[in-house]
Amino acid sequence: MIRYLIQKEFLQIRRNAFLPRLIVMFPVVVMCIMPWVMSMEVRNIRVCVVDNDRTTHSQRLVHQIAASDYFIFTGRKPSYRAALAEVESGESDVILEIREGRYLIAANAVNGTKGSIGSAYLSQIVSGAAEGASPPALSSSLILYNKHQNYKLYMIPALFAIIMMMMTGFLPTLNIVGEKEAGTIEQINVTPVRKWAFILAKLIPYWLIALFVITVSLLLAWAVYGITCAGPLVWVYVLAMLLALFFSSLGLIISNYSDTMQQAIFVMWFFVVCILLLSGLFTPTRSMPEWARLTTYANPMHYFIDAIRTVFIRGGGFAAIAHQLLALLGIGLFMACWAVRSYKKNGG
């Protein structure tokens, strides 16, 4: 019986004017554009220099800055005040003032990351140039896993999370509320269809689509960016399916409690934003205050992101992600039970 229901879902997806295009376009757009956009890499920092010394040394320094990949030299200013005006109008990000062999770096720190990284780079150049061949660098660093400091590598696993969320969270939610609004769900409710069969028939197509989309994305990551999975690929799929279980259950719960698409979308969006922001997808969870860090123990996205980055970037295997897998499974099953319970074929 479930076979017919699944068949019906696929037919409806195919007939929809919009969905097939979305399913094809989505991974392509996401994989081709997002990695470029979702980069918090600090580049092209605009520096203006207030050179009070006008020595050959300071000249050389300015050349060095202009030659660096990170900086764009926007020009010399006669005074600190003039330079500040430059920053205020948004023409420059960092001021370097040179006075009697001493250096002042003033960075616009409205964006803290940019301010601190930018000033750190600049002070490296400055102190390198200032001290010349004086004491050798005291420290060196070895960067593991993401050797080329490629931000795209860091973000691509996060994109998988976003893809799963869209495909297995939002689409089934819209689908079920749509049937509610059209009234066809009433017809289904008077048939002997079992609750779980109806729900499963709604989810399986989207799970399959999500798998397809993930595969396409993996291929695109390899073809466009030359980025491949460092660990065993099977765990990427296992993790994706576990996340799908959670998101589709969440979507179902929300659609069971809402009457209109608008409501469902808003509520879903609200939860998704909170889950995403608190997951460590964009910012490290350990920088969060205690209360926020506590919520990550219940946040499946947190486990997913942790695990998939371990597999994808650091090349970890089952042992490295066992506890995340377990947590994801637990949360997913809990949500699934709730979803089936909250779907009522027989209104009170």
Partner 1 sequence: MKQFVSFIIKESKHILRDRRTMLILFGMPIVLMLLFGFAITTDVRNVRTVVVASPLSAESRQAVGRLAASEYFTITATVSTPQEAELLIRGQRADMAVVFAPKRGGIQFIVDGSDPNMAQQWTAYAAQVTAGPQSSAVNTKMLYNPQMRSAYNFVPAIMGMLLMLVCAMMTSISIVREKEKGTMEVLLVSPVRPLMVVVAKAVPYLLLAVLILVLILLMARFVLGVPLAGSLFWIVAVSILYILLALSLGLLISSLAQTQLVALLLSAMVLLMPVVMLSGMLFPVESMPQVLRWVSAIVPPRYYISAMRKLMIMGVGIREVAREVLILMLMVIVLLTIALKKFNTRLE
Partner 2 sequence: MNIIEVNGVSKHFGRVTALENVSLSISRGEVFGIIGPDGAGKTTLYRILCTLLIPETGRATVEGFDTVSQMKKIRRRLGYMPGRFSLYQDLTVEENLKFFATLFGTSVEAGYDSIKAIYRQIERFRNRKAGALSGGMKQKLALCCALVHSPSVLLLDEPTTGVDPVSRKEFWEMLASLRERGITIVASTPYLDEVRQCDRVAFLEQGRIRGTGTPENILSEFKDIFNPPPLSLCKTGMPTSADDNIAASSASHAGEDAPVIEVSHLVKTFGNFRAVDDISFSVRQGEIFGFLGANGAGKTTAMHMLTGLNQPTSGSGRVAGFDIRTEYEQIKRHIGYMSQRFSLYEDLTVSENIRLFAGIYGMKSEEITVKSRELLRRLKFEDHKDDLVKSLPLGWKQKLAFSVAIFHEPGVVFLDEPTGGVDPATRRQFWELIYDAARRGITVFVTTHYMDEAEYCNRISIMVDGKISAIGTPAELKQRFQQPDMDSVFTYLARRAKRSSD
CB-nearer residue toward partner 1: 11 or 85: 85
Contact yes or no for 321/302 (Cβ under 8 A): no
Picking from 169, 179, 236, the residue whose alpha carbon sits closest to that of residue 203 is 169
Please tell me the distance from the alpha carbon of residue 208 to that of residue 212, in angstroms, as a whole number: 6
Tell me: does residue 113 bind partner 2 (CB under 8 A): no
CB-nearer residue toward partner 1: 314 or 344: 314
**In the 8-state DSSP scheme, what is residue 136?**
P
Contact partner at residue 115 from partner 1, partner 2, none, CB < 5 to 8 Å by partner kind: partner 1
Among 78, 101, 226, 330, binds partner 1 (CB under 8 A): 101
Show Cβ contacts of residue 218 under 8 Å, excluding neighbours closer than 6 positions: 229, 233, 236
Tell me: does residue 263 bind partner 2 (CB under 8 A): no
Among 31, 48, 61, 107, binds partner 1 (CB under 8 A): 107
CB-nearer residue toward partner 2: 20 or 78: 20
CB-nearer residue toward partner 2: 5 or 30: 5
Tell me: does residue 18 bind partner 2 (CB under 8 A): no
Please tell me the distance from the alpha carbon of residue 64 to that of residue 171, in angstroms, as a whole number: 52
Among 79, 116, 184, 262, binds partner 2 (CB under 8 A): 184
CB-nearer residue toward partner 2: 6 or 87: 6
Show Cβ contacts of residue 10 under 8 Å, excluding neighbours closer than 6 positions: 205
Tell me: does residue 191 bind partner 2 (CB under 8 A): yes
Structure tokens at 296: 């990550």
Point out which residues pair with 268 in neighbouring strands.
Answer: none
Please tell me the distance from the alpha carbon of residue 103 to that of residue 145, in angstroms, as a whole number: 35
Tell me: does residue 114 bind partner 1 (CB under 8 A): yes
The sheet carrying 45-51 orders its strands as 71-76, 45-51, 94-99
Tell me: does residue 342 bind partner 2 (CB under 8 A): no
Picking from 323, 185, 300, 298, the residue whose alpha carbon sits closest to that of residue 244 is 300
Contact partner at residue 241 from partner 2, partner 1, none, CB < 5 to 8 Å by partner kind: none
Task: Please name the amino acid found at residue 226.
Answer: G
Among 136, 183, 284, 289, binds partner 2 (CB under 8 A): 183
Reported as type and span, the H/E element at residue 75 is: strand 71-76
Residue span binding partner 2 (CB under 8 A) among the ranges 4-12, 42-50, 76-84, 163-171 = 4-12
Q: Which x/- pattern over 275-314 shows residues binding partner 1 (rule: CB under 8 A)?
A: --xx---xxx-xxxx--x-------------x--xx--xx
Picking from 31, 332, 35, the residue whose alpha carbon sits closest to that of residue 207 is 332
Q: Which x/- pattern over 158-197 shows residues binding partner 1 (rule: CB under 8 A)?
A: ----------------x---x-------------------
Among 11, 120, 234, 292, binds partner 2 (CB under 8 A): 11
Please tell me the distance from the alpha carbon of residue 29 to that of residue 38, in angstroms, as a whole number: 13
Work out how close the CB of 111 gets to partner 2 at its nearest, in angstroms, rounded to a whole number: 43
Tell me: does residue 39 bind partner 2 (CB under 8 A): no
Distances 310 to 15, 141, 154, 275, 304 between C-alpha atoms, Å: 40, 21, 11, 20, 10
Tokens 């027989």 belong to residue:
346
Q: Considering only residues 119-178, where is the footprint of partner 2 by CB under 8 A?
A: none
Tell me: does residue 111 bind partner 2 (CB under 8 A): no
- Name the site residues for partner 2 (rule: CB under 8 A): 1, 3-5, 7-8, 11-12, 15-16, 182-184, 186-193, 345-348
